[in-house]
A = this chain, B = another copy of it.
């Protein structure tokens, strides 16, 4: 299997991208097509002693920066690593694409170059978020700030397929974020989306999920518009940072609490692992006709490798075809 990697995207490119690629070749048995500035990639590999076996480099002279406007960057930076990578993907030269570059540009580029599946009005970003019982998929987690009801219903179908095919959940429970359990709750769009999801034969609808229950992870797929999804994703990150910061301060208080920190070491390590988003690989762009995985902008080698694993799982389990089938129903 060939995975195309945007070697220049992300805060730690190209070094962590290449380290992740090398680890993926070794551990996952995939081939990598690394797209980016040939000279820079060669220099970085040499400097860091990165084993390039299994990694083919395709040259691209430009890079899309985080500050670039997504649409004009995709249109005008035609020789950027991301655009070249997307063209390779659309031409079938690789099975999937992984990028840690600008989310907006990747979404726009994937839509313009790799195209959406028939029946999908907008692609969504799905993010796997740690929960109390188990991780859950949140979508849309930020791509589309405004979503009509049919779009939310489509997200529900795509999220369900992802959790079943890629994450191995059996008959995943799908719920709509809302400010109450009753089907009359929420804005008119949410009231309508509830009705559509209730009648959607492609999902197992669990009704509304209130924000207080979302972190439980009792439902597999949590559906909302991208504005709300961004709030859920980023507030979860912010509160995790707040709470772990308070815990650290508690440990540092005096000799007794420092001893406590030693005694709690294993527990804290397990808790951190539970909260570690890098473990779950990247976020899939759902609704695109090819597999596209967005890795976190600050991805390190481990996160890149896990994003490649995620891409591989999507391909092996026929995620795109399953979404195509289920949207058609």
Contacts and interface: CB of A to CB of B under 8 A. Distances in A.
Nearest to A225: B187
Given A179-B227, A263-B259, A264-B257, A235 B211 contact: yes
| Most interface-central of A142, A188, A240 (chain B CB within 10 A) | A240
Interface string A204-239: 000000111111100000000011101111111111
Contacts of A267: 249-250, 253, 257
Contact of A264 (B241, B243, B260): B260
Copies, count: 2
Nearest to A238: B212
Contacts of A132: 242, 245-246
A211 B238 contact: yes
A112 interface: no
A152 interface: no
Which of under 10, 10 to 19, 20 to 34, or 35 or more describes the interface residues of A?
Answer: 35 or more
A212 B212 CA distance: 17
B213 A238 contact: yes
A271 B250 contact: yes
A228 B225 CA distance: 11
A256 interface: yes
B231 A216 contact: no
Contacts of A70: none
Given A179-B145, A227-B228, A250 B234 contact: no
Nearest to A224: B231
Contacts of A236: 235, 239
Contact of A260 (B131, B230, B260): B260
A43 interface: no
Contact of A227 (B146, B187, B215, B232): B187
A280 to B, nearest CB: 17
B215 A235 contact: yes
A42 interface: no
A268 interface: yes
Given A215-B238, A235-B211, A179 B230 contact: yes
A58 to B, nearest CB: 32
A25 to B, nearest CB: 34
B215 A242 contact: yes
Contact of A235 (B214, B243, B257, B274): B214
A295 to B, nearest CB: 18
B231 A211 contact: yes
B187 A145 contact: yes
Contact of A186 (B227, B246, B274): B227
Interface of A: 131-132, 142, 145-146, 177, 179, 186-188, 190, 210-216, 226-228, 230-243, 245-247, 249-251, 253, 256-257, 259-261, 263-264, 266-268, 271, 274
Given A187-B227, A211-B234, A215-B241, 17 more contacts: A132-B245, A145-B179, A145-B187, A179-B227, A179-B231, A210-B234, A212-B235, A215-B242, A228-B231, A231-B232, A235-B235, A239-B239, A246-B271, A250-B264, A257-B267, A260-B260, A260-B263
